A and B are shown apart, each in its own frame.
Chain A
Amino acid sequence: MDFAKPKKIFIVDDDTMLTEALKDYLTRKVPHTVKSFHTGEECLKYLYEEPDVIILDYYLNTVQKDAANGMEILQTIKKNYHNIHIIMLSSQERYAVAMQTIQKGAEQYVIKDENAFEKIAQMINEMS
């Protein structure tokens, strides 16, 4: 069935607990290939692998102060790889930020809360 098709997924977040947990969660039901990165720059190096989906944190510079933030990374990805689906992830619970990322080419915007994993998994399943 099409919704259960395994996909190549990148997760970009400086929170190690999140990348690990999300990876576990996503691969539990469907055998997706998941790679995680703690900075956006690192992720950009592997874009040639052409992942189907990138789950991208909005704040990427809480650990490494000089790291580019999620918005910059989003724009870079969309410029070079138009077809990659991007799901923005953030604890920034503000509508304006969400709107901004969607305008810049993100497909979805997910707030980090208890249901975030479930929402992401569902979004990925619903992607063609």
Chain B
Amino acid sequence: MKIKLLSTLLLFAYGSTFVNAQQATEATLKTAFLNAKGDSASRNRLEELMIFYLRDNTKSKEESFQKLQAIVKKKSDPSVNYFLLISRVVLTHTPDSIIATRKYINEYLQECLKKNDKKNYVIGLTSLSQSESYAGNYDEALKLILRSLDYARDTLKDAEVISNIYLTLGIFYYDQHDTLQAIAYNKKSLAIAMEINNLDNIASVSNNLAMQYSDLAQYDSAKVYFRKSISLFHQFDKAGQISNPLCNLALVFYKTQEFDSALFYARESIHYSLLDNYEESLGAGYYVLAQTFTGLNKQDSAAIYYQYAKDIYEKRNVPAALIAFYPDLAGFYALQGNYKSAYEYLKKSTAIKDMIFNADNNAVIKEMDSKYQASKKAQEILKQEELIKRQQILSYSVMAIAAFFLLLLFFIYRSYRLKQKSNKLLGIAKEKAEQSEKFKQQFLANMSHEIRTPMNAVMGMTTLLIEKNPRPDQFNYLDGIRKSSDNLLHIINDILDLSKIEVGKMELEQIDFSIRDVADQVKQTLHHKAEEKGLELIIDCDSKIPDVSIGDPTRLNQVLMNLTGNAIKFTEKGSVSIEIKMSAIENTILFSIIDTGIGIPKDKLQSVFESFSQANASDTRKFGGTGLGLSISKQLVELMGGTISIESEEGAGTVFSFEINLPAGSIERMKQQKTTEQIDGSILNGLRILIVDDNEYNRIVVHDILKLMASVEIFLATNGKEAIEQAEKNNFDVILMDVQMPLMNGYEATQYIRKNIDTPEKFTPVIALTASVIRTDLDKCRAAGMNDYVPKPFKTSQLITSIANATGREIKFVPNINKQIKYEKENHSSVSNLSYLEKFCNGDQKQMQKYIGMFTSTATDLIEKITAALSRNDFEEIANLVHGYKTKWIMMGMNESKELAILIERQCREKMPEKNIKDDVLKLIEQIVSAKAELT
């Protein structure tokens, strides 16, 4: 009750200010027109003013036109005079007005030709086209506008005029309901307006484009353009116009069910409408707000705003707006159970529709009606007497039957209402549940994206730094970063995996692989951890296990890693072993992970496989982990068609075992599926690559990794717009495209390239670099015309393979050398380290031997010369001698010697050798001697 009372009061207050509001809007628009500078601004403002009069039902159209004429006269600008004539066509809409307009403009065109005033000639043509269009002569209008376009392009060459013509063409096609054409022309207009920085046109065109995209239900694009026009209108500081796109944007958000944003923009719009007394968008704003509250199931609030909206709509009394509004209002009343009002408004809406559609036929209908009435009257008089007699007999029986049916109807209606009510409640509950599941999915997708993007930079740059031959201490830190980020990624993937399994989106591979290799990998990864705790990690693989099996090695590895990692975590002494045996069932293999750890209490055995559960809450603190590992393992095993079980004795240990069906595979096939770890980057040599990413660090990572692996030419862009600009100018072999970027995202940019830049001869492959791993996003990549995607964070080999595939390069592998560089540990005793040399020679043993030979063959000579110089105290000679060795230190990986040599050379050259310089020189000699021994 309170709410209703309040709303009535508010309405009353609003109603009393309504007339003032109209006047204020008129004044605002008038001032805007008089202050407008330049052709397009003046014309746009005048058009707004005209539309205002067109919708103002309080004055006659002729009166409105007089007013408009008076305002235009105040501003002595000849270019708007044509528009005034168009206004006359629009406002008064008589055949006379178009004839007068034609005559006036044609006279003026002649005059322009005489004076050779090209610009006004084109503007005149455009205006004439608009008049014809308003008068309904569309063919003529199109002919004229195309003529003015040709003239503007070929002779006048004025960008602003051309932009205006495209804008007019856009409006023309929109009026013809050809939205796609309208969009195409608006985009042309927008491109030119942006080039010459004509903000007024950018804002107007953006708004038009947004409306058209919205009509096509392409809401994402609509949002982009609405935002653009809003931000520009903000710059102009013209609040009266900003409320319109704000309100439309709110409507788009309402349609995409993003109610929070819809509420936000609707309120913004109302705020600006009130500020400028712009009641047209005020009504629309209230309407969107009401719809949104209905969507949010807040019917009390919705009711208030429907009231506000209804009041304004009815006072403005614009038929087209009412036709759209009334059915919705009726729907709302129906939802509230107020069927009487619902019916009333539906009737009103139909009445208005009839009024409009029949307006033209009214005269004919009236005539027919009067004739019909006349003939009917004559017949009726004859019939009436007979009728009265009959009616008396019938009336009693009819009344009895009617009463019975009414009673029956009442009961049917009651039971129907009861059923409907309970159905509605169920529906709401179901919808809510579905929505919360949708939110969860969206949240996971977002989080995954937000975390993966910076992770890509962290992991990529760490890899790059490790490639730059860090000092051993630096290497240790870098290795720490690498391992920690691997862990972090692992956790993120766990969470994502779980959600994927839950919604049934996890897909398994069926490829040839070696079970032994998978087990070895697990051992390799985990044996450090086991060693640290003094545990033995044993793999016991039955000889009957086939060398090659068919299944998903990645997921098997994941399960084994989870279970074995867990076992190590919960075992303090003894061993952890992985037993792999053939099961009694054919083609089925039994994996057991056996530890001698703390065990699991009997009452907790059942719950260990549940998500987020560890046997004790305190375990999380002590042992870490997400508590998802076992749950994922169980679900993965089940997905692979197997079962997992657990046996445990507290204090003695635990055995996890699972059986899965892994039929034997073929060695030949497996060889073809060779691991891509040692891929040869130089296959990409000579490519021209464009990297598009808004994240600076990710750009650096991709750039440096590609530069490191191959001689390629790289170009950079920070968003889709820049990418398009570059693609128009350059001929790229491939484009690496981030997806989520400001200004223009990767999908839009790719679509644009496919549509406007690609030709039958030239097709630029686009590879998405996306942090999203959600299927729908990847589908979107394909739909936009992208060739492939590489998930972030990516491995170097993934990136290279994808680029090679897209550009038709044949994939090659670096021959038989383990590219994994072995780094020295701190307690390493050798002086030299061949990892740099190995990398430098790309593993070519012959070349490596050449350099090693060059070092060892001169080492003895060097030692002798240094010793001699030292005995003579000839420090300059020592400096010269060690100086010439700089490359050799680097090539032989003698980092310590390199530092020492620099120190010695500096002290010698400064001619103030410190006391211990002799010690340093002797130390260097010692190092050369041991390096020689190591290398020979």
Cβ-defined partner of B711 (8 Å) among A18, A24, A61, A125: A125
Q: Which chain B positions have C-beta within 8 A of A121?
A: 711
Residues 32-78 (chain A) with a chain B CB within 8 angstroms: 59, 61-63
Q: How far is the CA of A59 from the CA of B886 in the complex (A)?
A: 12
B847, CB-defined interface residue at 8 Å: yes
Q: List chain B residues, Cβ under 8 A from A28.
A: 842
Residue of B nearest to A28 (CB): B842
- Of the candidates B686, B858, B885, B887, the one whose C-beta lies within 8 Å of that of A21 is B887
CA–CA, A44 and B328, complex, Å: 91
Residues of A within 8 A of B685 (CB): 4, 29
- A61 CA to B883 CA in the complex, in Å? 11
Complex alpha-carbon distance, A54 and B716, angstroms: 31
Interface residues of B in 59-118 (CB under 8 A from A): none
Is B686's CB under 8 angstroms from A112's CB? no
Q: Would you give the shortest CB distance from A116 to chain B, in whole angstroms?
A: 9
**Are A17 and B851 in touch, CB under 8 angstroms?**
yes
> With the chains together, A27 CA to B66 CA distance in Å?
84
A20 near B851 with CB under 8 A, answer yes
**Contact A112 B880, beta carbon cutoff 8 Å:** no
What is the total of A-B residue contacts with beta carbons within 8 Å?
Answer: 63
**Which residues of chain B come closer than 8 Å to A115, judged between CB atoms?**
468
Q: How far is the CB of B910 from chain A (nearest CB, A)?
A: 13
Q: Given the complex of chains A and B, what is the CA–CA distance between A1 and B880 in angstroms?
A: 42
B890, A30: Cβ atoms closer than 8 Å: no
B732 in the interface (beta carbon within 8 A) = no
A63 to B861, CA, bound (A): 13
Q: Would you call B851 and A114 a contact (CB within 8 A)?
A: no
Is there contact, CB below 8 Å, between A1 and B686? yes
Report the minimum CB–CB distance from A123 to chain B (whole Å): 13
The closest CB in chain A to the CB of B888 belongs to A17
Q: Are A17 and B881 in contact (CB under 8 A)?
A: no
A81 to B178, CA, bound (A): 68
Q: Is the CB of A30 within 8 A of B711?
A: yes
Taking CB as reference atom, which chain B residue is nearest A65? B880
A17 B468 Cβ-Cβ under 8 A: no
Q: Are B884 and A62 in contact (CB under 8 A)?
A: yes
- Known pairs A59-B883, A62-B884; list 11 more (Cβ under 8 Å): A4-B685, A15-B886, A17-B851, A17-B855, A17-B885, A21-B851, A24-B841, A62-B881, A62-B883, A112-B887, A114-B890
Residues of B within 8 A of A (CB): 468-469, 682, 685-686, 688, 707, 711, 713, 836, 840-842, 847, 850-851, 854-855, 858, 880-881, 883-888, 890-891, 902
A17 touches B847 (CB 8 A): no
Binding site for B on A (CB under 8 A): 1, 3-4, 14-18, 20-21, 24-25, 28-30, 59, 61-63, 91, 112-115, 117, 121-122, 125
Give A44 to B245 CA distance when docked, in angstroms.
74
| Interchain CB contact under 8 A, A21 and B840 | yes
Task: Name the distance in Å between A16's Cβ and chain B's nearest Cβ.
Answer: 7
* Residue from B840, B841, B887 within 8 A of A15 (CB atoms): B887
A-B pairs with lowest CB-CB distance, top 6: A18-B887, A62-B880, A17-B887, A17-B888, A62-B884, A15-B884
Q: Identify the closest chain B residue to A24 (Cβ).
A: B847
Bound together, the chains give a CA A114 to CA B885 distance in angstroms of 14
Tell me the smallest distance from the CB of B504 to a CB of chain A, in Å.
48
- A3-B713, A16-B854 given; A114·B847 CB < 8 A: no
B713 to chain A: which residues have CB within 8 Å? 1, 3
**B891's contact among A17, A91, A122, by CB below 8 Å, is which?**
A17
Please, how many angstroms separate the alpha-carbon atoms of A120 and B305 in the complex?
Answer: 71
CA distance A91 to B855 in the complex (A): 19
Complex Cα–Cα for A120 and B786 (A):
36
CB contacts (< 8 Å) of A114 on chain B: these are: 468-469, 836, 890
CA distance A125 to B851 in the complex (A): 25
Listed A/B pairs (6) with beta-carbon separation below 8 Å: A1-B713, A15-B887, A17-B887, A62-B881, A63-B884, A114-B469
State the CA gap A110–B316 with chains docked (Å).
Answer: 77
- Beta-carbon nearest neighbor of B883 in chain A: A62
Question: Closest CB-CB distance, A94 to chain B, in whole Å?
Answer: 11
CA distance A114 to B836 in the complex (A): 9
The interface residues of chain B lying within 8 Å CB-to-CB of A3 are: 711, 713
- A31 to B840: give the CA distance in the assembly, Å: 17
> Looking across the interface, which residue of chain A has its beta carbon closest to that of B902?
A91
Shortest distance from the beta carbon of B900 to any chain A beta carbon, whole Å: 14
The minimal Cβ–Cβ distance linking A91 to chain B, given in whole angstroms, is 5
Report yes or no: B682 in contact with A29, Cβ–Cβ below 8 A: yes
The distance in angstroms between the C-alpha atoms of A29 and B711, with both chains bound, is: 8
Could you say which residues of chain A place their CB within 8 Å of the CB of B688? Answer: 1
Cβ of A122: which chain B residues have Cβ within 8 Å of it? 707
Q: Which residues of A contact B469 (CB under 8 A)?
A: 114
**A112 shortest CB reach to chain B, Å:** 5
- Complex-state Cα separation, A63 to B842, whole angstroms: 31
A117: chain B residues within 8 A (beta carbon)? 840
Instruction: Report the separation of the CA atoms of residues A30 and B711 in the bound assembly, to the nearest whole angstrom.
Output: 9
B472, chain A: closest CB distance, angstroms: 14
> From residue A89, how far is it (CB to closest CB) to chain B in Å?
10
Residues of B within 8 A of A16 (CB): 854, 858
Q: CA of A15 to CA of B884 in the docked complex: distance in angstroms?
A: 5
A113, B468: Cα distance in complex, Å: 11
- Choose among A24, A25, A112 the residue that contacts B886 (Cβ–Cβ < 8 A): A112
The complex places the Cα of A28 from the Cα of B681 at a distance, in Å, of 13
| Cα-based distance from A21 to B887 in the complex (angstroms) | 9
CA distance A117 to B836 in the complex (A): 13
- Checking A17, A29, A30, A59 against B854 with a beta-carbon cut-off of 8 angstroms, the contacting residue is A17
When C-beta atoms are compared, the residue in chain B nearest to A62 turns out to be B880
Contact of B686 with A4 in the complex, beta carbons under 8 Å:
yes
Q: How far is the CB of B885 from chain A (nearest CB, A)?
A: 7
With both beta carbons as reference points, the residue of chain A lying nearest to B890 in the complex is identified as A114
Contact B840 A25, beta carbon cutoff 8 Å: yes
Chain A residue at minimum C-beta to C-beta distance from B906: A93
In the bound complex, residues from chain B placing their C-beta under 8 Å from that of A15 are 884-888
A58 to B448: give the CA distance in the assembly, Å.
Answer: 53
Distance in Å: Cβ of B682 to nearest Cβ of chain A = 7
Q: How far is the CB of A93 from chain B (nearest CB, A)?
A: 9
Report the Cα distance A50→B857, complex, angstroms.
34
| Chain A residues whose CB sits within 8 angstroms of the CB of B707 once the complex forms | 122
In whole angstroms, what is the CA distance A75 to B855 when docked? Answer: 33
Give every chain A residue within 8 A of B881 (Cβ-Cβ): 62
Most buried by B among A3, A18, A21, A30: A21
Residues of A within 8 A of B711 (CB): 3-4, 29-30, 121, 125
Say whether B883 contacts A91, CB under 8 Å.
yes
Q: Distance in Å from the Cβ of A10 to the closest Cβ of chain B?
A: 17
Q: For the complex, what is the distance from the CA of A3 to the CA of B203, rounded to whole Å?
A: 44
B759 to chain A, nearest CB (A): 21
Contacts of B686 in A (CB 8 A): 1, 4
Q: How far is the CA of A99 from the CA of B686 in the complex (A)?
A: 33
Please give, as numbers and ranges, the residues of chain B lying within 8 Å of A91 by CB-CB distance. 883, 886, 902
Contact partners of B891 in chain A: CB under 8 A: 17, 21
Count chain B CB atoms within 10 A of each CB in A17, A112, A115 and give the residue with the most: A17
Shortest distance from the beta carbon of A117 to any chain B beta carbon, whole Å: 8
Residue in chain A with minimal CB distance to B855: A17
Quick one: closest B residue to A22, CB to CB?
B887
Closest Cβ–Cβ distance, residue B577 to chain A (whole Å): 44
Query: Distance in Å from the Cβ of A58 to the closest Cβ of chain B?
Result: 10
- In the complex, A114→B465 CA distance in Å? 12
Which residues of chain A have C-beta atoms less than 8 A from B890's C-beta? 113-114
A4 to B684, CA, bound (A): 13
Bound together, the chains give a CA A24 to CA B842 distance in angstroms of 11
Q: Smallest Cβ distance from A61 to chain B, in angstroms?
A: 8
Minimum Cβ distance to chain B for residue A107 (Å): 20
Residues in B whose Cβ lies below 8 Å from that of A30 = 711
B903 to chain A minimum Cβ distance, whole angstroms, is 13
Tell me the complex Cα distance, A28–B842, Å.
10
Chain B residues whose C-beta falls within 8 Å of the C-beta of A21 in the assembled complex: 840, 851, 887, 891
Residue with the greatest number of chain A CB neighbours at <10 A, chosen from B468, B682, B707, B887? B887
Note all chain B residues with C-beta closer than 8 A to A112: 886-887
How far apart sit A105 and B737, CA to CA, in the bound complex (Å)? Answer: 41
For the complex, what is the distance from the CA of A15 to the CA of B836, rounded to whole Å? 19
